[in-house]
Amino acid sequence: MAPFKKKLVKKNISKRKRGRPAEPLLTPALVELMRRYILQNNPTMTLLCKTFGIESRNTLYRWMKENAEFGAVIQEAREISEKAWAEETRESLRKLTKGGRRKKTIREYDENGKMVAEKVTRESFLPDERACEFVLKNLEPERWRDKVEHDVGPQFGALVDRLNNALKRTANAGSGEKS
């Protein structure tokens, strides 16, 4: 055997883990912890999996399907969380469309980067035009939408016929000149 060849060593196959990793026990405590996390953070399913050490979203969805009670708890928590998030967003949008006053903190630092003073003031802000546009387009789409529909009516068919006839005359005139 040449000195540069490595010896092949058989690995002890019986000691290696095979198949799917063992699923964690979905204890009531873990399910409650996941429910609270969802309600507080409104995470994506991917983030939920990373937070709780679940290998993939597919695994989580499979568990939800196989364990109906677990699936119902997770789904209910997500729905409540998404409703709360939508309400917070709606409130933020309402504030943006109305304008108003907000707190502004001004901090002063010395040459060493240490904060020496902090002043809290209130400043006025105007309504945000993009937020207003968004609200109007969604609340009254018939009146504020960008898309404008044109009704061409029966005149369109007559126009197409005239254009087709003109193209035929042009083609006939062109073939007449070549012969």
For residue 124, list its beta bridge partners: 101
* Residue 177 domain-assigned (yes or no): no
* Residue 115 domain-assigned (yes or no): yes
- Top-confidence residue, 158 or 121: 121
Residue that is written with structure tokens 């969380």 in the block: 81
Q: What is the pLDDT of residues 68-96, one digit of tens each?
A: 999 999 999 999 999 999 999 999 999 99
How many C-beta neighbours within 10 Å does residue 54 have?
18
* Residue 49 domain-assigned (yes or no): yes
Q: What is the pLDDT of residues 23-76, one digit of tens each?
A: 557 888 989 999 999 999 999 999 999 999 988 899 999 999 999 999 999 999
* Residue 122 domain-assigned (yes or no): yes
For 7, counting Cβ atoms within 10 Å of its Cβ (0-12 exposed, 13-18 middle, 19+ buried), the class is: exposed
* Residue 57 domain-assigned (yes or no): yes
pLDDT for residue 104 is more than 60: yes
- Whether residue 30 is found in the same domain as residue 93: yes
CA–CA separation, 159 and 170 (whole Å) = 17
Query: Can you give the pLDDT at residue 9?
Result: 47
Mean local confidence (pLDDT), 147-151: 68
* Residue 77 domain-assigned (yes or no): yes
- Whether residue 30 is found in the same domain as residue 63: yes
Tally the domains of the chain.
2
- Whether residue 130 is found in the same domain as residue 88: no
* Residue 113 domain-assigned (yes or no): yes
Q: Which domain holds residue 137?
A: 99-146
* Residue 8 domain-assigned (yes or no): no
Tally the residues of the chain.
179
Mean local confidence (pLDDT), 142-166: 77
- Whether residue 73 is found in the same domain as residue 115: no
CA–CA separation, 164 and 75 (whole Å) = 59
Tokens of 74: 């997770």
- Whether residue 78 is found in the same domain as residue 107: no
Residue that is written with structure tokens 């007449």 in the block: 176
Look at residues 37, 71, 97 and tell me which one is the last residue of a structural domain: 97
pLDDT for residue 132 is more than 60: yes
